[in-house]
Amino acid sequence: MNARYDQWVDYLYCAERQHAAVDRLSAAEPGLTLDDAYEIQDRLIARRISAGERIVGVKLGLTSAAKRRDMGIDEPIYGWLTSGMQLPSPASVDLRELIHPRAEPEIVFELGEDLAGPGVTPLDVLDVTRGVRCGLEVIDSRYAGFQFNLVDVVADNTSASQFVLGSTRVSVSDLVLPSLRCQLLADGVALSHATGAAVMGDPAAAVAQLANFLATRGQRLEAGWLVLSGGMTSAVELADHRDVRAEFDALGSVELAISR
């Protein structure tokens, strides 16, 4: 299997570098398991690290009903964030360097201490959180038609492409995360809105589940890392717009300009 893992890593790495969509892994290899997919994901990130990037955090995916409905997958997933994915603010993305990008608003945790499962609770997450920011994640599935199953999307590092953070960091003691409101706008027009509760009832619960899941794979969240807790609303296709903006209660706003 090891040689085949590396073959799939090459396949997905090249698709990203060449911004060319590829067929789903599961079409060619229907026997791949979720464990295989996380192994491919780990090796994909190892490839980026040997090319000079470093891990800056973790992203959760499919933590809201809107995202699960849109993507047709009913369980949360996670992937890795690397230094090369973080955009300086004000951010802009160039459509010519991506495949079919979309953006989604997220609540982002900045961890002040390590956090290792099992048994991590939402309160433990709040205890180690240095602060929370708003963010926009740009996802860009490497699969044709932005269509995939659970195993495909996990192997593809959960469609991670780029992200940008808002400039305001707020202490968790000054926030009630489930009631934090956010609105997603494109070209100044409001598209959708949600509260933090859209993320598994409480984004801190989603992060706790992540820490516990990482523990089953011998991994932990580390001090200084960012955690993107998952898209709160449906994602918006960037090709249709000139800019996308997310406005949050208490956390300010974050914006992405789109060039082509």
Which residues would be at the binding site for Mg ion (CB under 5 A)? Answer: 137, 231
Give the nearest distance from C-beta 243 to ligand OOG in angstroms.
20
Amino acid at 142: R
Q: How far apart are CA 145 and CA 253, in angstroms?
A: 30
The one of Mg ion, ligand OOG, none whose footprint includes residue 62, by CB under 5 to 8 A per kind, is ligand OOG
Contact positions with ligand OOG (CB under 6 A) in 104-123:
104
Please check whether residue 241 is in contact with residue 235, taking contact to mean a CB–CB distance below 8 angstroms: no
Q: Which is nearer to ligand OOG, 16 or 137 (CB)?
A: 137
The one of Mg ion, ligand OOG, none whose footprint includes residue 203, by CB under 5 to 8 A per kind, is none
Q: How far apart are CA 39 and CA 37, in angstroms?
A: 5
| Angle, alpha carbons 169-173-179 (nearest 5°) | 85
125 forms part of the interface with ligand OOG (CB under 6 A): no
- Both structure tokens of 51: 């090319």
Amino acid at 128: V
Please check whether residue 55 is in contact with residue 45, taking contact to mean a CB–CB distance below 8 angstroms: yes
Q: How far apart are CA 199 and CA 64, in angstroms?
A: 5
Contact positions with ligand OOG (CB under 6 A) in 21-40:
none
Site stretch for ligand OOG (CB under 6 A), options 14-22, 28-36, 107-115, 136-144: 136-144
Q: How far apart are CA 24 and CA 164, in angstroms?
A: 28
Please tell me whether residue 143 adopts helix, strand or coil conformation: strand
Cβ neighbours of 173 (radius 10 Å): 8
Size of the site for ligand OOG (CB under 6 A): 14
159 forms part of the interface with ligand OOG (CB under 6 A): yes
Give the nearest distance from C-beta 231 to ligand OOG in angstroms.
3
16 forms part of the interface with ligand OOG (CB under 6 A): no
Site stretch for ligand OOG (CB under 6 A), options 2-10, 152-160, 172-180, 236-244: 152-160
Site stretch for ligand OOG (CB under 6 A), options 122-130, 153-161, 200-208, 210-218: 153-161
137 forms part of the interface with ligand OOG (CB under 6 A): yes
> Which runs of consecutive H residues, i.e. helices, occur in the chain?
2-17, 25-28, 34-50, 65-71, 122-128, 150-155, 203-216
Give the nearest distance from C-beta 164 to ligand OOG in angstroms.
14
Residue ranges binding ligand OOG (CB under 6 A): 59, 61-62, 67, 71, 104, 137, 139, 141, 153, 158-159, 230-231
